[in-house]
Amino acid sequence: MSTSAAAAVLRARSAQGAHRALKRTIDVGRGARPTSDVAAPAFVAYRRVSTAVSPSAAIIRPLRRAGLLRPPSRALLSTEPALSEDAAANDAGEEGSTPQKAASALSALPEGYTPGQALGALQSHAAGGGPVRLRDVRDLALSARPGYPRDASVVLTALRDFRRCNSFAIDSNVARVSMEAMHRAVTPRLEGEGGRAATPVEKVRAALFVLEAFADDKTGLPFAARTEHVDINLGLLLDAAVEAEEVRIGAAAEAEAEEGGGGEGEQPEPAAALAQRALDAASDVVGRLVLRGTHPERRMRKRAARRYLRAFKVGDAPGPTPRSADLGVRIALELGAAAAVARDRILTPSRQVLLWQPDASTVELLANKRKEEEEAAAETKRQEQEEEAAAAAEAAADAAAEAEEADTEGDVEEAQDAAADDSKKEQ
């Protein structure tokens, strides 16, 4: 007999032996008395996997060794079809054995609660060991009222506190709702809602509040807010900067925004300082997007990278888009920054780090701004030269007049001396 034929015979005999042993084990599970050729310690417990293959016999798989002379359970070896997971959950729910999901910490608050009330309830719930849910934080942000800056501060405080104290990580949906809530709360209410129309300076402050919150790592927004949502807020800041013509870098400090005054002792922020804040915020936001796009977890240690990835909820495209860079450049130029500042702080990092080309309109805008600056510098230099020439001509005229006056005085003195000499001679 060849080797292959012998191997085939051995496999057939092994399969027959395993079938007989399995049949004896099933018979024992059904109540049959074990035969002498079945060793007691060899009883094995089995569990049913599926009855879909053969409705007459169960498909079983060994789990663990049973005790001495302990046959498998009838339930494990039953050939009846198994209940689905939903049916089993329903049966367990009817018996009351499955624990129900705990109610939200905000369910005890009255209808129309404020963000401050929601924050207090969630802080008490978290202090007692309860988890902070994404739905609760989203509901807190949705309760922010238009024209109430305090509500925006409460939403910002909630994001910071829960991230610091409860290792809370928001997702993209909560980040979007939170940014919209903060902008809505900082912006004054419309005239039809019992308020007044927002001034351009107030619009700048509202967009600036949201962008500064995004640039803050403590809020968790840099790890969860999508780029398109950030671009929306950059667009709001650009529109507000176009309307607020007095908010420019280098503006006079005494040109304060009349509508920004507060109570007694509170001075409005100068327009130049507000413009500088807006420029810094736009630069920081684009820089944060650039940092996200470089995947910094690849340069971190394992534990720091795991912590970063647990909080990172953006997705596959976290970096800035050409629209992000275009908005940042336009904001910088609209606020009165030089073309070199806009290029070095916003456009160059995006091009060097992410290696993508900006829009042609952005490049053309910078080129036109640089040309205007060169023309303005040449005109200023020409005016300075003309002023210097005029000053030199005036100085020469003054010197000539002084010299002529000195000559006149010299002639008078000579005439007086000659008259004195003549009088002496006559005497």
Whether residue 156 lies inside any domain: the answer is: no
pLDDT value of position 366:
83
Render 68-98 in DSSP notation, one character per residue.
TT-PPPTTTT--SPPPPHHHHHHHHHHHT-S
CB 21 within 8 A of CB 13: no
Read off the amino acid at residue 164.
R
For residue 57, is it within any domain? yes
- The DSSP H or E segment spanning 50 is strand 44-50
From the number of C-beta atoms within 10 Å of its C-beta (0-12, 13-18, 19+), residue 129 rates as: exposed
Indicate whether 74 belongs to any domain.
yes
Rounded-to-integer distance, Cα 130 and Cα 318, Å: 32
Phi/psi at 270 (nearest 5 deg)?
-60, 150
Asked if 45 contacts 76 with a C-beta cutoff of 8 angstroms, the reply is yes
Q: Please give the single-letter amino acid code of residue 118.
A: A
Report pLDDT for 48. Answer: 40
Assess if residue 49 is contained within a domain. yes
Q: Give me the phi and psi of 63, to 5 degrees please.
A: -105, -60
Report residue 27 as tokens.
Answer: 């018979």
Could you tell me if residue 96 is inside a domain? no
From first to last of its 427 residues, the chain has per-residue pLDDT tens of 566 666 665 666 666 665 566 566 555 444 444 444 444 444 343 334 334 444 444 444 444 444 444 454 444 444 444 444 444 444 444 444 455 667 788 888 888 899 999 999 998 888 877 778 889 999 999 999 998 999 999 999 999 998 888 778 888 899 999 999 999 999 987 655 666 778 889 999 999 999 999 999 899 898 889 999 999 999 999 999 999 888 888 654 334 444 444 444 445 578 888 999 999 999 999 988 888 888 888 888 988 888 888 778 777 667 888 888 889 999 998 898 888 888 888 888 777 666 667 777 887 888 888 888 788 888 888 888 888 888 888 888 888 777 777 767 666 667 676 677 767 666 6
CB atoms within 10 A of CB 156: 22
Which two structure tokens, joined as six digits, stand for 319?
A: 């970096």
Domain assignment present for residue 31? The answer is yes
Question: Residue 60: which domain range?
Answer: 14-81
Helix (H, G, I), strand (E, B) or coil at 324: helix
**Domain contains 29:** yes
Structurally, how many domains does the chain consist of?
A: 1
Query: Residue 62: its pLDDT value, please?
Result: 46
- pLDDT value at residue 173: 92
Does residue 21 fall inside a structural domain?
A: yes
